[in-house]
Structure 1
Amino acid sequence: MIKALHQTLARTPWLLFLGLSFVVSSVGNGITYIVIFSELIRLSVPATSLALAYVLSTVPGFIGSKIGERYCRNNNPFQLLIWGECLGMLGLAAPFGAVMAGSVPLFFVAQTVSAFTIGMSFPAMSKIFKAGLSEQELPVATSLETLIFACNVILGVGLGLLLLGRIGVTSLLFIDLLSFAAALLLLRSAKSHFSKTFTPVFSTTVSLRWKTLSGTQRRGILLLPLLAFAGAPAMALLPGLVPATLSGEEAHSMALALLFARSLGQLVGPLILNPDKFEKRSNSNMLMIACLCAFIACYGLVPFSPSIFLALALVFTAHIFSNVVFALAIYTILKQFDEHLVCAAMAKSYRLQMVITALVSIGAGYSAQYFGVVTALYLFSGTGSVLILMLTLGGHWLKQRSVMLQADQK
């Protein structure tokens, strides 16, 4: 995948500038992410608040995706990305205020703004990729999209972990501010190069109707929500999975290191896929089930890990598996929907994912207070995995049944 990604970026200037803009922006976002969670952990907020922080870092994207979907129907999606960066820059006022006042609610506001802008960008990026790339280049676009949203790990979260404690948190937030400014300049360059070659197709009349979708299209939309069923509880409870043998500053550092390992796995996941086999892999239900089972198994072992390094390796491995599913889900949507419907399909899948993320994450957070983090993890992620298995096998049975009935009628 790395070779294919390099070749595509070399011959597609607008894609290079677009990718760089999100990489630069992600550096700042990753640093702010570390600032927010380190401050919440330092303030000793309960597991419920940590779960709520995770929910607010994703769920407001529900509204953002609605706005993004409607805007992209008859406007240039690049302009929406530019506005999103501007809004993100303004949203930095919340973490600045939160750090100065020690306000937990303001940290939640910062998470909300970030999630909202990410939700806006999903439909816009799918529209850009569908309009500007060939069918053979879609696997590269899929991997680039997942890399863009996970690269805040190495350059953002990693840098944040290295600098945290060495420079003030307000200085870290100023780095995020500069990253937004640089991202805006790169986005304008990407928009200019894209406009010289392509004219995006706008449509105000075509809408997504569930009844008219094929089984493959419905499956593509449901893959991300199904991933959230199993993955969201584990990710929401991650800071609380620090081994019980650790305490104080050691536990604080371990929680942040777990967040880093999570994002690193998200970064690596798409890179292990062969772009020539995306079509085959994206149609494999067994691959998805196997990856999700591996994800849950790795997370379930983290609290019992006798070694800090083993715990980090387990979280890293878990998210390699989860982001294989994520990459294939994005590819399926880009592949199965034309340029008129791809924004609506991506937005619908994203919104369903956010709803499920909110419900299971909040439920897992409250359960952790009464039954413990480990029990809550097994209860919610395990139930999600069983539900995915039932839905997958049920869908396969119905498909086989339909084929048999058609054969009997003939």
Structure 2
Amino acid sequence: MNNTSPTVIDIIAGARPNFMKIAPIIRALDERKVAGGRLRYRLIHTGQHYDSRMSADFFEQLDIPMPDINLDVGSGTQAEQTAAIMTRYERLLLDHPSSLCLVVGDVTSTMACAIAAQKLRVPVAHVEAGIRSGDWGMPEEINRMVTDSITNWFFTTSETANDNLRRAGVEDDRLFFVGNTMIDTLLAHMDRLRPPPFWDEYGLLPGSYFVVTLHRPSNVDAGSSFARLLRAIGEGTRSLPTIFPVHPRTRKTLEAIEDLPANLVFVEPQPYLEFNYLVRHAKAVITDSGGITEETTVMGVPCMTLRDTTERPETVSIGTNEILGTNPANLSRALDRLFAAGWKKGGIPELWDGRTGERIVAALEELFPS
């Protein structure tokens, strides 16, 4: 009889993209448990982002169990959220210790829980470690750098990320090149993607509309520059319907802009299955998000990123993404090129194959043997 106690892993999620990244890890852990594995987990939602769409329907769409614990930190400045997450997670660990803190991505919760865990001598594993934009003006870049500076084990999406970590002094025996859990989730649900309710209302047809997502302060906080960008999108997409799920911070600026292009269709943020259906069938995507560039790469959809840098260079060097900066003229030229000559075909980066969650759990079983 095996009398050893199971190893308990805290899986941390604080924002919507985190849940897409942890779903394959949870699925792999559940499968190993059925097969007799000793690893167990607590799913901890920090409550960093409250989203009415992150309801039971969202968890059901991604096959994620409801969180075991919700720290309910709510909104606030980044410093306020960091302090609240650290305080509440520290109390949880003091009352109910775990064997490992597993964090994903680069949100405030990622950094805050890693710090709290290390101070209580709970080791940290970081999924999506080592990615860098080089832009310290992005809060996410600070979160990545701080988290990786105190991480024990690094699960990476690319050899570029590995090289970034090696340059920072990380030894190879702490690096695990496993692939991309976001792509695991996408591939697992590809056959379940479904059109949003407004698909027929706006007469959408595959390849005959665009998708836009913009939320970064450099693009949306200043009304005048945001208006110029929207006009460039409206003109460059040549009257084709352009679906724009509006982030809450974007809506505040949008409400003050007059004479918006007629072909821009503003909708609420979409659930996972509906949003990725839109992306999969779009003529192209215009975005300032990093994660979407990974999904467009795998789906072979042209992607135009309105940023000066990217922490996911493989989506450019291998995939369908191009970095255009924030000058509307660059976007106009790129859209002209799309209509005139098409777009690069792109390919899929190494190990973006839908089995990343399995590789992470296999590595964890080696790190925490019975």
TM-score range, shorter chain: under 0.3
Determine which structure has the larger strand proportion and give its number: 2
Larger RCO: Structure 1 or Structure 2 (Cα < 8 Å, ≥ 6 residues apart)? 1
TM-score (norm 1): 0.23
> Structure 2 length normalisation: TM-score?
0.25
> Which has the larger share of helix?
1
